[in-house]
Amino acid sequence: MAKLSAAILGPTGMAGQQFMPFLAEHPYFELKILAASERSAGKSYKDAAKWYQEKPIPSNLADMPVVSMEEALKKAEVDIVFSALPSKVAEGWEPKFAEKGMTVFSDAGCFRDEPDVPVIIPEVNYPHLKLLKIQQSKRGWQGGIVKNPNCTTVAAAMALAPLRKYGIKRVNLASMQAVSGAGYDGVPSMAILDNVIPYIEGEEEKVEYENLKILGELDESKGEVNLLPAVFSASCHRVCTINGHIEALFVEFENDVEIEDLRQSYLNFTSRPQELDLPTAPKPPVVLFDDPYRPQVKLDRNLGNGMAASVGRIRHDKDKHRIKLIALAHNTVRGAAGNLVLAAELALKDGLI
Ligand SMILES: NC(=O)c1ccc[n+]([C@@H]2O[C@H](COP(=O)([O-])OP(=O)(O)OC[C@H]3O[C@@H](n4cnc5c(N)ncnc54)[C@H](OP(=O)(O)O)[C@@H]3O)[C@@H](O)[C@H]2O)c1
């Protein structure tokens, strides 16, 4: 199979650089273009990037040139685009790439609430990728836009997916979010060291809406997703960890549930990316812990190369139709680049790109 050519928009930042290890030697995609702001255009990648990962920049990518956005669009010689631009910047650029026939897999928050734009976690809602075809016929594009959820949404939606069949009525969520989620310059060290910040602007609204959209069902005749008919209430907090968002979830079901049934649902949970044996698919996608001291951010964020979510401490909450649990996912891998690379792998295998 010939590889699809790929570009990254915003590869020098915190989220964008996470694509580099995934794409350095990817069996389906070949990185051809890196595009960022005028600050970086004309430099080599290694000179432009604020690299903060433990492993060095992949040696075959370190000297790639970074070009301006205008130049990247003018060349328009790639099949797919990964975007990690700030939302306001992405709003202007992403549709231009989609119009020119490229499918944009994007980390940026813009367009997530548009009815024909899929917000994808491949194991949870892969049928929503069919919205790409609806987008094309509605907007007259050859390409399209696929969105990553907010990084806090990811742990919750992956933890809730195996439980959907029990009839979720209400979810309350309290997050403890790592500083990397705010970007490299996001939270000053003097503000976060020795501290917990009880407010993250705009976060709760995103987490509440996106979970209901991702856990909802695609209605192809309407060309949109019917939101999960449940109440979702989030309280989001920034804590002093670097990577890995951990969340306490309180879930109410239509009927009584047995903890052992829920355990089995996690242990048996698998999905299309695993069945297709996609290169970035973790096996299993959700790791279940019985040890009440797990999952822990430091010990468990890198499970499945950072692609597996984990859950633990599943217990009843006062009565048998309510439970509590802890969920964890790596915010800059599963909550960003890794999730989008997996979505692109799936879209390719399903003939959507
Ligand atoms: N951090 C996370 O964990 C995370 C997780 C999921 C999603 N996201 C989303 O990913 C996006 C990027 O976040 P980040 O944390 O990586 O931010 P960041 O570290 O500030 O990086 C921003 C990137 O966008 C580029 N950029 C900025 N302004 C530009 C412009 N006018 N034209 C072209 N390129 C421009 C920057 O290039 P220069 O280096 O040239 O300035 C850099 O590559 C945001 O939409 C964010 O919400 C972040």
Closest-lying ligand 1 atom to the alpha carbon of residue 66: 40
Q: Which of 12, 146, 333 to mutate to test the pocket of ligand 1 (most atoms within 8 A of CB)?
A: 12
Going along 237-318, which residue ranges are E strands? 245-253, 286-288, 309-317
- CATH architecture entry for 4-150+336-349: 3-Layer(aba) Sandwich (3.40)
Q: Convert the pLDDT of each residue in 33-76 to its tens digit.
A: 999 999 999 999 999 999 999 899 999 999 999 999 999 999 87
What residue segments make up the domains of the chain, in order of their start? 4-150+336-349, 152-330
Length of the chain equals 353
What is the reported pLDDT for 183?
A: 86
What is the reported pLDDT for 19?
A: 97
Q: Which of 47, 107, 238 to mutate to test the pocket of ligand 1 (most atoms within 8 A of CB)?
A: 107
| Ligand 1 within 6 A of CB of 273 | no
| Ligand 1 within 6 A of CB of 187 | no
Dist. CA 323 → ligand 1 center (Å): 37
263, HSE (Cβ side, Cα atoms, 13 Å)? 11
User: What's the CA gap between 175 and 157, in Å, rounded?
Assistant: 13
User: What's the CA gap between 330 and 313, in Å, rounded?
Assistant: 19
Residues facing residue 171 across a β-bridge: 232, 251
What is the reported pLDDT for 64?
A: 98
What is the reported pLDDT for 157?
A: 98
What's the angle, vertex CA 293, arms to CA 292 and CA 299, rounded to 5? 135
Closest-lying ligand 1 atom to the alpha carbon of residue 108: 45
What's the angle, vertex CA 76, arms to CA 127 and CA 49, rounded to 5? 85
Residue 294 token pair: 């797990």
CATH for the stretch 152-330: 3.30.360.10
3-state helix, strand, coil in the chain (%, to 5): 35, 25, 40
| Ligand 1 within 6 A of CB of 89 | yes
What is the reported pLDDT for 185?
A: 85
Q: Do domains 4-150+336-349 and 152-330 have the same CATH topology?
A: no
Q: Which residues of the chain have pLDDT under 50?
A: none
User: What's the CA gap between 222 and 233, in Å, rounded?
Assistant: 27
